[in-house]
Structure 1
Amino acid sequence: MARAKTALPATQAKVILLSGGNPQIAKAEGDAPVAAYIAAMPGWKRAVGEQVDALVVQTIPGVRKAVKWNSPLYGVEGQGWFLSLHVLTRYVKITFFAGASLAPLPPGGTARSKEARWIDIYETDRVAEAQLADWIRQAAALPGWVP
């Protein structure tokens, strides 16, 4: 697995980027580890992370945040996690854990992914905020994933 270091402000510890540029952030609950993950996202992917995070916070007041398995998770207290972000080499993956129940159905998914559905955001893509906010609202209202 290729590892590279990313430059962060002097006030932050250096974060190791795993394969594909995914930041390695220790498991933790709260806004701070998610903010650290997003700050360590390389290049254009950071803007996508910031945009998605802001949209989730705006759409779901009091959203619960954590980093687990090197991915930010968003959830509702008592309902589980409804969304995750993950950095890959060429795109940022936004996964809805109960995505098969969303309308319209997010485009990513296979028979093996069971209920999960996702969207992949590439560098030249424009995030469709209205559609994403609608999926976020729908997903947050469903029972979420509980590890």
Structure 2
Amino acid sequence: MAEKKPADPVLLSGSNPQIAKGEGDAPIQAYIAAMPGWKSAVGRRIDALIEVSVPGVHKAVKWNSPFYGIKGEGWFLSLHCFTRYIKIAFFRGRSLDPVPPVGSKSGDTRYFHIHEDDEWDEALLACWVKQASLLPGERM
């Protein structure tokens, strides 16, 4: 009898992977592996940058998106795949210096988008991540 191969993750609208919610690194890695095309390699770079910037970062997948936070203190950022870019949401982004470039309908939240051919400043992203991790987190 042939061994069953696990089904490929479903991609929701905008190519966001449908990943079961869960705490820890494993659901995040499943999400990153399911990110389509170029987004998976960029997702690995972002995840590694967050781990280096915030040792012991708390991870979870909620609502089909990776969340990063401080255990017991709330979440400071999340990722989400769209058709043409990856969105990094900083929940207290208006308090970061410099403020991330993309506004939100939600007061404090600011976004940073990464498109396929973008050259993005990893040092700036690491700076935002470190700053965000020191601010009060969102409880979700």
User: What's the TM-score, normalizing by structure 1?
Assistant: 0.89
C-alpha distance in 1 between matches for 2:70 and 2:125: 17
**Aligned equivalent of 1:128:** 121
Of 113, 117, 120 in structure 1, the residue corresponding to residue 110 of structure 2 is 117
1:143 counterpart = 2:102: no
Distance of 1:121 and 1:33 partners within structure 2:
22
In 1: Cα distance, 2:114 partner to 2:39 partner: 9
Deviations 1:41-76 (A, max 9, x none): 000011111010000001100000000001000000
Over aligned residue pairs, what C-alpha RMSD do you find?
1.3
Q: Which residue in the other structure is 1:64 paired with?
A: 58
Q: C-alpha separation between the residues in 2 aligned to 1:122 and 1:103?
A: 22
SS in 2 for 1:92: strand
- Show structure 2 runs of 5+ residues with no match: none
Alignment partner, residue 5 of structure 1: none
Q: Which residue does the alignment assign to 1:104?
A: 98
- Give SS of 1:94's match: strand
Equivalent in the alignment of 2:8: 14
1:78 deviates by 2.0
Q: Number of paired residues?
A: 137
Indicate the percent of aligned positions where both proteins have the same amino acid.
Answer: 60
> What CA deviation, in whole Å up to 9, does each residue of 1:85-133 have, x standing for no partner?
00001000001001010000000114x2210001110011022100000
* 1:11 CA drift (Å): 6.8
Distance 1:59 1:12 in 2: 33
SS of 1:136's partner is: helix
Relative to the length of structure 2, the TM-score reads 0.94
Q: 1:87 is matched with which residue?
A: 81
2:38 to 35, 41, 44: 44
Classify 1:19/1:101 alpha carbon distance in 2 versus 1 (closer, same or farther; 3 Å). same
